[in-house]
Amino acid sequence: MKEVRTRFAPSPTGYMHIGNLRTALYGYLYAKKEGGKFILRLEDTDAKRYVEDAVQIIYDTLRDAGIVYDEGPDVGGDFGPYVQSERAAIYKKYAEELVRLGGAYYCFCDKERIESLKDENGVGRYDKHCLHLSEEEIAEKLAAGVPYVIRQNVPEEGTGSYEDLVYGKVSVDFKDIEDGILLKSDGMPTYNFANVVDDHLMGITHVIRGSEYLSSTPKYNLMYDAFGWERPVYIHLPPIMKNAHEKLSKRNGDASYQDLVAKGYVKQAIVNYIALLGWSPKSNTEKMTLKELEENFSLSGLNKSPAIFDEAKLRWLSGEYLKEMSEEEFAALAMPFLKKSKAFGKYDTDKIFKIVKTRVDILEEIPAKLDFLEEYGEIDPALYFNKKMKSDAEIAKTVLPAAAETLAGTEKFENAALYAALVELAAKLGMKNGQVLWCVRIALTARENTPGGASEMAELLGKQRCLERLAAAQRQLERT
């Protein structure tokens, strides 16, 4: 049985957007599931779109996501070079061979003639003019150094059909396919030619790419057939949408993998979620490690329906990964975000991490969860009102002085002991626990929402700050 070989062939044009990373991930997962090889190839023949440092971004993103390729530009392999700009001689050889086989032809038309074929809307279609040149005319022009391109010779009649593992049978009329350029006048190939040559020479057995290539594949198959090469298995993936009408696109400023990491989404959660955008595991399990994805991935689980990128679901998944981390793992990831908070350096870091670990889904939420600690000021008396807790400012006037006395006498200023002391106080006052805890938390933080309860906030603030804030809150209430 032939070894499964998949490839990821990005253009170095910027950051890795979500759709690109999903293509890489699926190629990697299928190769691993089948005991095959996953190859990285750089398609950099479009010099106008090349972005400096984009190659390194591709390397870094794949490794950061845990997608390890078996062959590639920086790791080598038996089928290199793995960079298209380094394979010009290979493409020229095969383009000339395709001309000999009748699947392509030399085109010497100048820019003016090509422009003349366009209509008032700027839409043009090449008219096969140079297909009819004689061998003598072609030889004469080549000898004279007349600039040329090599165009594909697409039949004027008939239909190109193939089976796609996701979309089933796909058919395109040849009359809808133009004689596209395969080899440009500078000797470099277009994507349409290079991907066919490279996939064959690199032994790619399964081509996994976006559904935008569904209608282009028949022209690729014409080349496979003309060369007498075996066609690969095609697996086209549905688009990833930002909503029901718009595709997720880096051109529209939608988040890339790097953007999501910078926001503090857990990397494993990002990869996990991307795997679910177009694929459904048989078990319906949503949270899976990369290893579990490798074991469970199957082509039968791929969907043809567009996938909606639901950032709320990604947030939830990221939060689940954070909750399961050890305190050490969480602290290592959270520290850069804590440093952005006004509270950094002023409170016990371990206590902060313990409080926020289960209360954030993405790490960039940390500063907003903590900045209130350094923004203590006037407390709106209305904050003491809580219908569920049966609390209000009048209740607070009774609770706060008693709480100050209780906390002042609490020696072990830790969450459990503080909570027990405040619950005991509620019993003494003949109040519900919630009445006391709510009033104390409002007095200590001046916020309706905080990342922890009254006793957790008290432990974090420390005894001196607690007593100072309770006294300040009492003075404010006396003025109302």
- What are the catalytic residues? 250
If you count DSSP H runs as helices and E runs as strands, how many of each does the chain have, helices first? 19, 11
The one-letter code for the residue type at 477 is L
Q: In what order do the strands lie in the sheet with 181-183?
A: 104-107, 149-152, 181-183
Query: What DSSP line would sit under 270-301, residue for residue?
Result: HHHHHHTSSB--TT------HHHHHHH--GGG
Q: What would the two tokens of residue 36 be?
A: 């095959």
Do the beta carbons of residue 70 and residue 37 sit within 8 Å? yes
Residue 292: Cβ within 10 Å count: 15
Q: Which residues are within 8 A (CB) of 60 and not within 5 positions of it... i.e. 6 or more apart? A: none
- For 127-197, strand residue ranges (E) read 149-152, 159-164, 168-173, 181-183
Distance CA 235, CA 27 (A): 10
Distance CA 229, CA 180 (A): 20
